[in-house]
Amino acid sequence: MGLLALARSSAGKHTPTATGNAPGRTARRERFGRYRVVGKTVTVSKPSRDELFAFWRDFTNLPAFMENLNAVRPAGQGRWEWEIVAPGETSVKVVTEIASERAGELIVWRSVEGSSIDTEGRVAFRDAPGGRGTQVELVVAYVPPAGGAGVAIAKLLQREPEQQARRDLRRFKALMETGEIPTSDNRIETEKA
Amino acid sequence: MRALTYHGKKDVRVDTHPDPGIVNPRDAIIKITATAICGSDLHLYDGVIPGLMSGDILGHEFMGEVVETGPGSTLRKGQRVVVPFTISCGSCFFCEKQQFSACDNSNPVEKRDISEPLYGQPMSGLFGYSHMTGGYPGGQAEYVRVPFSDVGPIVIENDDLEDEKVLFLSDILPTGWMAAENAEIEGGDTVAVWGAGPVGLFAAQSARIMNAARVIVIDHHPHRLELAAGLGCETLNFREVDVREALLEMTGGIGPDAVIDAVGMEAHGFAIDNMLDVAKQTVGMGADRASALKQALLACRKGGRVSIPGVYGGMTDKFPLGALMEKGLKIGTGQTHVQRYTKKLLGLIEEGKIDTTFLISHRLPLEQAPDGYFNFKNYQNEWTKVVLKPGT
Ligand SMILES: [Zn+2]
Ligand SMILES: [Zn+2]
């Protein structure tokens, strides 16, 4: 079983583990080997699972709801370049490739060899019980960089990644269900920092 | 634009702010023609609400004229609308179940971090009610930005209906109505209402429309009790009588069939003293609150109903859980699902079955809003409801 599968799954119905049917990452521990893992699930009532999948699969859509992302651009050969906001008006670029996918169900991406952050992300789409939309589960694992990787990245990853994952996923839900991301701003001031 | 602005405890001023604009596609901009000071605004005024910041614009009961619309709005310029204080997206699981105050999307994600640990899940956004409920600028102003304007606002087509007749559709009328609905009134019932403030009075009025045989209102302000009597209710002054004993005697030893606690209306539930209860609880100090509710639970007849219109924000102890369970009481509560009721209540207003204007004691221009707050706070017996009229 891969790292993220371990963190993600409820260990299957046939393999009882310490966490029972709960996702592995909800165990009272934060690290899986060298990796720090964060993850959240939301239920999105509309549109269909396939449409949610398609929106996510076009990675250029992600900055619309992911606060830490400036942009995602196709980088050729099925790769994507993520421009991540870092403290002090800098940004960090990470190139990823699709590690695996199943249409309408699962997308797994992974940073390519030599990236400044060693990271893997997985988003799964499942039918919610009773026809109540789609459960969307995002799990991200990364190795907190050691000193050499740069202070900016270290700071970036200390910006409450758990909270980021939760907020990003909820913005995704709002955008899908309502067509917009609610804000209490009274006017359009500036582009996102 | 000019807007009533919070500066600190008991310090509100009318300041100049930038005009609001369309931010999201479903937004509309409303030019306010009438806006009320709600009892719960006094808790903002008292500085006891967490998440309120200097510079915030208050006000969550308002109506006006549509002056600008986003491409996703269904409103048209020039329409008269009343705007619910609850902001609801209309398309999430909860909105589709008509549980509008539980909307999953309207409270911006970055604002949910205070209420989520306290309640398990955050509630919807509200206008002008601190950053805990979204930090949305309120409607005691010349203009307001209304998100999801295709879902919330109700259009008033009938120009003969003046603002004062329909303004309270935005909050206290549906709040009183839902309180009565939660009491599940059957013909012949006796209903007791704690609190003759705006919500209590409207709950009493609604209970009568729902065919309660008797409605008994409990308060201590003589003038407010007179207003209740004017609605055809019986009254009890808790400074003068033992409420539980009186209710038992008045109901032939049975107790009221349904009880409505409209007392702790403070703050739509987020008062700091409630929050402190949480802290006290964790260090083992007792907090003794919710006295009207405790009294209501004891007074209610066996198998009766208990309605709590959106009151409490924290925790309480010495709660008569035994009375609740042993007597088999049923509880109905929650922040008002305003959008569920506006159309029906507008119909009742048009038919002349509901008139809420009896409550209004004072009308002021927006510039005098600070005086309105001061007097509404300090002279509750006479100042029963203040309506502000921007542009006058
Ligand atoms: Zn109110
Ligand atoms: Zn909603």
CA distance B290 to B69: 43
Beta strands in A45-178 (DSSP E): 69-76, 79-86, 90-102, 106-111, 119-127, 134-142
Given this model, what pLDDT does residue A176 score? 98
Identify the weakest region by mean pLDDT among A8-17, A24-33, B68-77, B337-346.
A8-17
Q: Distance, CA A63 to ligand 2 centroid (Å)?
A: 23
Q: Read off φ and ψ for residue A9, nearest 5 degrees.
A: -75, 160
Q: Does B148 sit within 8 Å of A178, measured CB to CB?
A: yes
pLDDT tens digits, one per residue of B317-373: 778 899 999 999 999 999 999 999 999 999 999 999 999 999 999 999 999 999 999
Q: Read off φ and ψ for residue B254, nearest 5 degrees.
A: -95, -45
Q: Name the DSSP class of B127.
A: B
CA distance A54 to B289: 52
Mean pLDDT of A42-48: 96
Given this model, what pLDDT does residue B150 score? 97
Q: Residue B147: enclosing H or E segment and its boundaries?
A: none
SS (H, E, C) B61-107: EEEEEEEEECCCCCCCCCCEEEECCEECCCCCHHHHCCCHHHCCCCC
Q: Distance, CA A74 to ligand 1 centroid (Å)?
A: 50
pLDDT tens digits, one per residue of B77-86: 999 999 999 9
Given this model, what pLDDT does residue B285 score? 35
Q: Name the DSSP class of B18.
A: P
Given this model, what pLDDT does residue A145 score? 62
Q: Distance, CA B249 to ligand 2 centroid (Å)?
A: 46
Using a CB cutoff of 5 Å, list residues around ligand 2, an ion: B 88-89, 92, 95, 103, 105
Residue of A nearest to B87 (CA): A182
Mean pLDDT of A166-179: 96
CA distance B187 to B120: 38
Chain B residues within an 8 Å CB radius of A186: 17-18, 20-21, 23, 137, 145
CA distance A158 to B204: 54
Mean pLDDT of A143-172: 71
DSSP string, B157-193: --TTS-HHHHGGGGTHHHHHHHHHHHTT--TT-EEEE
A191 touches chain B (CB under 8 A): no
Q: Name the DSSP class of A8.
A: H
Buried b (16+ CB within 10 A) or exposed e, B284-307: eeebebbebbbbbbbbbbeebbbb
Mean pLDDT of B228-244: 94
A191: pLDDT confidence band, cut at 50, 70 and 90? very low
Q: Is the pLDDT of residue B270 over 50?
A: no
Q: Does B106 sit within 8 Å of A45, measured CB to CB?
A: no
CB of B309 closer than 8 Å to CB of B265: yes
Q: Which residues contact B44 (CB under 8 A, 6 or more apart)?
A: B6, B52, B58, B129, B130, B267
Residue of B nearest to A42 (CA): B104
Compute the Cα dihedral for A61, A62, A63, A67 and give only its sign: positive
A24 touches chain B (CB under 8 A): no
Q: Distance, CA B167 to ligand 2 centroid (Å)?
A: 23
A14: pLDDT confidence band, cut at 50, 70 and 90? very low
A36 touches chain B (CB under 8 A): no
Max mean pLDDT range (A21-30, A31-40, A97-106, B49-58): A97-106
Q: Can you read off the two tokens belonging to residue B210? A: 């729902």
Given this model, what pLDDT does residue B45 score? 92
Q: Does A173 sit within 8 Å of B104, measured CB to CB?
A: yes
Q: Does B92 sit within 8 Å of A182, measured CB to CB?
A: no
Q: Is the pLDDT of residue A40 over 70?
A: yes
Given this model, what pLDDT does residue B391 score? 85
> Which ligand neighbours the alpha carbon of B311 most closely?
1
Check residues B321 and A147 and name the one with the higher pLDDT: B321
Q: ipTM, 2 decimals?
A: 0.89
CA distance B122 to A175: 18
Identify the weakest region by mean pLDDT among A159-173, B111-125, B178-192, B271-285.
B271-285
pLDDT tens digits, one per residue of A95-145: 999 999 999 999 999 999 888 788 899 999 999 999 999 999 999 888 766
Residue of B nearest to A165 (CA): B109
pTM (two decimals)? 0.89
> Which ligand neighbours the alpha carbon of B199 most closely?
1
Q: Does A174 sit within 8 Å of B93, measured CB to CB?
A: no
Using a CB cutoff of 5 Å, list residues around ligand 1, an ion: B 38, 40, 171
pLDDT tens digits, one per residue of A72-93: 999 999 899 999 887 666 788 8
Q: Does B109 sit within 8 Å of A166, measured CB to CB?
A: yes
**Which of B19, B92, B111, B149 to mutate to probe the A interface, most A CBs <10 Å?**
B92
A27: pLDDT confidence band, cut at 50, 70 and 90? low
Given this model, what pLDDT does residue A113 score? 86
Q: Distance, CA A53 to ligand 1 centroid (Å)?
A: 41
Displacement of CA A103 from its chain's centroid (Å) = 17
Residues 21-60 of chain B whose Cβ lies under 8 A from any Cβ of chain A = 21, 23-26
Could you tell me which of B346, B369, B387, B2 has the C-alpha nearest to residue B153?
B346
A28: pLDDT confidence band, cut at 50, 70 and 90? low
Check residues A166 and B79 and name the one with the higher pLDDT: B79
Q: How far is B88 from chain A (nearest CA, A)?
A: 10
Find tokens 């060298």 and name the residue.
A34
Given this model, what pLDDT does residue B266 score? 47
Q: Is the pLDDT of residue A49 over 90?
A: yes
pLDDT tens digits, one per residue of B111-149: 988 778 888 888 999 999 989 899 999 999 999 999 999
| pLDDT mean across residues, chain A | 81
Nearest to B92 among A45, A185, A186 (CB): A45
Residue of A nearest to B94 (CA): A45
* Tally: H helices and E strands in chain B: 13, 17
CA distance B305 to B274: 24
Q: Read off φ and ψ for residue A178, nearest 5 degrees.
A: -115, -10
CA distance B75 to B68: 9
> Which ligand neighbours the alpha carbon of B40 most closely?
1
Q: Is the pLDDT of residue B95 over 50?
A: yes
B100 touches chain A (CB under 8 A): no
Find tokens 């639970």 and name the residue.
B297
Kindly report the CA angle at B389 between B136 and A188, in degrees rounded to 5? 30
Q: Name the DSSP class of A144.
A: P
CA distance A91 to A72: 12
A29: pLDDT confidence band, cut at 50, 70 and 90? low
Mean pLDDT of B277-286: 41
Q: Which residues contact B82 (CB under 8 A, 6 or more apart)?
A: B62, B63, B153, B154, B156, B166, B167, B169, B170, B342
Check residues B127 and B381 and name the one with the higher pLDDT: B127
Alpha-carbon Rg of chain B, whole angstroms?
20
Which stretches of B210-320 are DSSP H helices? 222-230, 243-250, 272-282, 291-299
Residues 102-141 of chain A whose Cβ lies under 8 A from any Cβ of chain B = 132-133
Mean pLDDT of A178-191: 88
CA distance B320 to B322: 5
CB of B107 closer than 8 Å to CB of B355: no
Q: How far is A187 from chain B (nearest CA, A)?
A: 5
| pLDDT mean across residues, chain B | 91
Could you tell me which of B70, B64, B2, B67 has the C-alpha nearest to residue B34?
B64
Q: Distance, CA A179 to ligand 1 centroid (Å)?
A: 29
Identify the weakest region by mean pLDDT among B26-30, B36-40, B226-230, B257-261.
B36-40
Mean pLDDT of B170-198: 96
DSSP string, A31-59: EETTEEEEEEEEEE-SS-HHHHHHHHHSG
Identify the weakest region by mean pLDDT among A75-79, B50-54, B185-189, B375-379.
B50-54
Given this model, what pLDDT does residue B65 score? 98
